[in-house]
Amino acid sequence: MGTILVVAEISKGAIREASYELVAIARELASAGGHEVNGLVIGSGVGDLAKTFAGKGAGKTYVVDSAAAANYNPEVHGKAIKAAAKAANASLVLISNTPTGWDVAPRVAAGLDCAFVSDCFKASAAGADFNFVRRVFNGKLDAEISSTGQTVATIQPGAVSAFAGTSDGATEALSVDLGAKSKFVEIKIAQSTGVDLTKADVIVSGGRGVGAPEKFPEVIQPLADALGGAMGASRPVVDAGWLDHPYQVGSSGQVVAPKLYIAAGISGAIQHLVGMKASNFIIAINKDPDAPIFEVANIGVVADLFEIVPALTAAVKAAKG
């Protein structure tokens, strides 16, 4: 029986919490399918991080420690993951579904000539086989995918709680040829537009159900203003160019935890839920009674947002006098 290899992701000198979420999934799969969990840490001067990862659930952890891996490079990291997968005889390679993860994972799968499943939020094991669940059609349907043989899978951050226990595990250095045609140049951070949703006590977010970009200032923003809050949006809205990226709530946008979160016309794709499910109170408004957003909502309103949101705005203004 092969192992389950968990690839750690490093950010600002520390292993991201999402990597420990992968550990939690890996250990559950290992228990169900009779596998062993191994870890992998890639970087420069990462020996101590590897020891930490090994002792916090990853078990035996491979280390690729090289100046060439100091900054993310898809060729370099792809080679390192491929080498570790072979050294560990990995049946499954787990990678976080982050910008780095979704960039390198298909490269690894192609290099190993194995199956690839992306953007999953559930995983289970049945003997040597693995089953994954991912949302499709903008979160309206869940697709279950079964994989036989070696597999690379990316898992949405926030899909499960991070593993908080300890484990026995040593580290093993891997010597890998990290020669690459591409090279790291620099990281550019986009200038802030002044929208910081993380500091807002109230957020009113609109999704693709709002219908058009002009409807945000006409319908969503007035309610946010009336409540003394901020306006947010789902990823499809930003991808369509209706609002700028700083308004995006989700795993690839801003992760927020306001006192009140109102989601209007948002179906509830996992990447959005990850970014707002820690809110103290959630109100969801959607015409689809089966929208996943209702799974995390304290109050769910199955109705047309163009009837409910203006009525709420008028009621708030009336209550304030």
Domains of the chain from N-terminus onward: 3-173 (3.40.50.620), 197-320 (3.40.50.1220)
Which tokens in the block code for residue 78? Answer: 């792809």
Give 299: exposed, middle or buried? Use CB within 10 Å, 0-12, 13-18, 19+: exposed
User: Could you tell me the pLDDT band of residue 151, with boundaries at 50, 70 and 90?
Assistant: very high
Is 80 exceeded by the pLDDT of residue 315? yes
pLDDT at 160: 84
pLDDT at 306: 97
Which residues lie closer than 8 Å to 270 by C-beta, 6 or more apart?
119, 121, 135, 139, 156, 158, 159, 251, 292
Residue in this structure with the two tokens 């990316």, named with its chain if needed: 154
Q: Helix, strand, coil: what percent of the chain each, to 5?
A: 35, 30, 35
Helix and strand totals (H; E) in the chain: 9, 16
Is 90 exceeded by the pLDDT of residue 21? yes
pLDDT at 139: 62
What type of residue sits at position 38? N
What is the torsional sign of CA 135, 138, 139, 140?
negative
Is 90 exceeded by the pLDDT of residue 255? no
pLDDT at 193: 62
Is 70 exceeded by the pLDDT of residue 191? no
What predicted TM-score, i.e. pTM, was given to this entire model? 0.76
The pLDDT of 122-132, averaged and rounded, is 91
pLDDT at 154: 96
Is residue 291 helix, strand or coil? coil
pLDDT at 136: 81
Is 80 exceeded by the pLDDT of residue 195? no
The pLDDT of 22-48, averaged and rounded, is 95
pLDDT at 138: 62
User: Could you tell me the pLDDT band of residue 190, with boundaries at 50, 70 and 90?
Assistant: low
Please give the share of the chain, as a percent, with pLDDT higher than 70: 97
Pairing assessment for the beta strands 141-147 and 14-15 based on DSSP bridges: unpaired
pLDDT at 143: 92
- 160-187 residue pLDDT tens: 889 999 999 899 999 999 999 998 998 8
Is 80 exceeded by the pLDDT of residue 62? yes
What type of residue sits at position 92? L
